[in-house]
Amino acid sequence: MIVRPRSEFSACVAVVLGLAVSTGYPAGIVAGIAMPVACLTPSSRRSAFATTFAYYAAGLWPMIPGAKHFTGQSAPILIAILLWISTAMLLSTPWALAWTPNSRLQYLWRIPLAEIAGILPPLGLVGFISPLTGSGYLFPATGWAGLLATSLLPGIVLASDHSTFRRSRVWLCLACAAVITLAVGSHCFVRQEAKPPTNWEAVNTDFGDLSRPFEDFVAAQSIQKRVAASPARVVVFPEFVVPRWSDATVAFWQQTLDGCRTRGQILAMGAGVPRKLANAHEMAVDVDMVKSYDFAGAIQALRIKDGGLLPSIPSGSPVNTTGEPFNNTLLILGSESATVYQRVPVPIGMWQPFAGTGVPLRLNEPGIVRIDGQRVAVLICYEQILTYPVLASMLRRPTVLVGISNAFWFTSTPIPRYQANAVRAWARLLGIPYLLAVNS
């Protein structure tokens, strides 16, 4: 296949845009808005697919070390590379189908359709680095209008560049002027980001891998002390700071939860909740053991015996090493109670549809919970780098955005920065405050 200069140049631009997005900085995320222009400029459908693949391959390179760490040190690097290539190819397909050799005016509807195809399941389950993510930085506090403008902008650019009809050019110039006016106007009226509600606090932790023996009890003691000392009414802790929440765990937390109710305090924390509970006799035994066991004394004895180091096991997946089916949740405890389930867990790593283990896919869950009078949209870790969970929550008009994540296993990659700035971008688009709690 002969590669024409225009296609070659477009591929280079796509790689640069992909690398910019992969940094996770706001400027890089905004640069991703130009992806459709670069990827649909080539002169053939095959070249358009190759250019789009170059964009996704460059933008998703953090998947390789991230997938390697998530699946465990024993997993071959080849699996991570295959996941990276497969994802880039899947996400490139809608854009290849959107390419057209005919009237570029068709891009005004072809580009939005390609974006929708990459957002909605099944592709939406791996719908990374969407061009729409940067809309909050470009059109703050504009909501659906900003999303629409972001979606139409590349089509306007492509159509105006190729249009030969005077009337078409006039309408395209007017559309472009409207988009520019929306961007400038929104920045003029929104000079500061919305501040979190009074007496709300998000706590970042550095617990690391809580799947190691006894580490979860150390983390639990730290959280309980922090909650007791916090003057905030709502305290948010990261994803999976309690690896296994059960009746036995409730007994261990009872005193802290009673204190929260007495003070009118609300505790929101990430927890793994088993989907299959033990029978009543086994659970009663667990509760009695928790009530009678001196965890602090046992941990201190182990530290003295082993020279200050707790026993550990090789780290694999950052969540639930037992293999039992469980729900990844945000538990609301204390003076209010509710449970928010993760809607889209990490495919293969957490969601294992054919194995009967891991975290279930819950696309129909609302992702919205009422806390302290606020309508809170919750994004749990992996959901923060997708678009579908955010848009589904936008339909329910949230007033606060809360993100929780467990980032210890990929702190050496730009993924945590991308997550944080993506959450910030969506909050800016909606004109609402956000809180982010991360365990590293």
Choose one of 189, 224, 241: the last residue of a domain.
189
Q: Which residue did the predictor score with more confidence, 71 or 171?
A: 171
What CATH number does the domain containing 409 carry? 3.60.110
Mean pLDDT of the chain: 85
State the residue for tokens 């719908």.
127
Is there a domain that residue 161 lies in?
yes
Percent residues over pLDDT 90 in the chain: 61
Q: Could you tell me if 133 and 227 lie in one domain?
A: no
Choose one of 189, 212, 242: the last residue of a domain.
189
Reported pTM? 0.86
Q: Which residues lie closer than 8 Å to 377 by C-beta, 6 or more apart? A: 367, 368, 390, 393, 394, 396, 398, 400, 401, 402
Q: Could you tell me if 279 and 421 lie in one domain?
A: yes
Q: Could you tell me if 230 and 372 lie in one domain?
A: yes
Q: For residues 402-410, give the mean pLDDT.
A: 91
Least confident interval from 122-131, 148-157, 336-345: 148-157
pLDDT of residue 291: 43
Q: Could you tell me if 337 and 431 lie in one domain?
A: yes
Is there a domain that residue 194 lies in?
no
Q: For residues 81-91, give the mean pLDDT.
A: 95
| Predicted confidence (pLDDT) at residue 264 exceeds the cutoff of 90 | yes
Is there a domain that residue 352 lies in?
yes
User: pLDDT tens digits, residue range 282-308?
Assistant: 444 444 444 444 444 444 444 444 444
Is there a domain that residue 195 lies in?
no
Least confident interval from 60-64, 184-188, 293-297, 351-355: 293-297
Is there a domain that residue 133 lies in?
yes
Q: For residues 314-341, give the mean pLDDT.
A: 77
Least confident interval from 90-104, 146-160, 301-315, 350-364: 301-315
Question: What b/e string do you get for 58-77 counting C-beta neighbours within 10 Å, with b at 16 or more?
Answer: bbbbbbbbbbbbbbeeeeee
Q: Could you tell me if 114 and 263 lie in one domain?
A: no
| Predicted confidence (pLDDT) at residue 103 exceeds the cutoff of 90 | no
Q: Could you tell me if 175 and 204 lie in one domain?
A: no
User: pLDDT tens digits, residue range 164-178?
Assistant: 555 566 767 777 778
Q: Could you tell me if 277 and 400 lie in one domain?
A: yes
Q: What is the DSSP letter of 38?
A: H
Cβ–Cβ < 8 Å for 377, 402: yes
Quote the domain boundaries for residue 26. Answer: 5-189
Q: Could you tell me if 212 and 153 lie in one domain?
A: no
Q: Could you tell me if 208 and 357 lie in one domain?
A: yes
Q: Could you tell me if 139 and 211 lie in one domain?
A: no
User: pLDDT tens digits, residue range 362-393?
Assistant: 999 989 999 999 999 999 999 999 999 999 99
pLDDT of residue 289: 40
Is there a domain that residue 123 lies in?
yes
Choose one of 166, 189, 212: the last residue of a domain.
189
Distance CA 421, CA 423 (A): 5
Is there a domain that residue 350 lies in?
yes
Distance CA 3, CA 126 (A): 30
Closest CA to 368 of 341, 386, 346, 344: 341
Q: Could you tell me if 172 and 205 lie in one domain?
A: no
Q: Which residue did the predictor score with more confidence, 170 or 317?
A: 170
* Residue 299: both structure tokens together: 């941990």
pLDDT of residue 299: 46
User: pLDDT tens digits, residue range 203-254?
Assistant: 999 998 887 767 888 899 999 999 999 999 999 999 999 998 988 888 889 9
For residue 399, the tally of other CB atoms under 10 A from its CB is 17
Count of the separate structural domains present in the chain: 2
Q: Which residues lie closer than 8 Å to 328 by C-beta, 6 or more apart? A: 239, 240, 270, 272, 319, 341, 342, 345, 350, 359, 380, 381
Q: Could you tell me if 417 and 295 lie in one domain?
A: yes
| Predicted confidence (pLDDT) at residue 7 exceeds the cutoff of 70 | yes
Distance CA 208, CA 226 (A): 17
* Bridge partners (DSSP) listed for residue 429: none
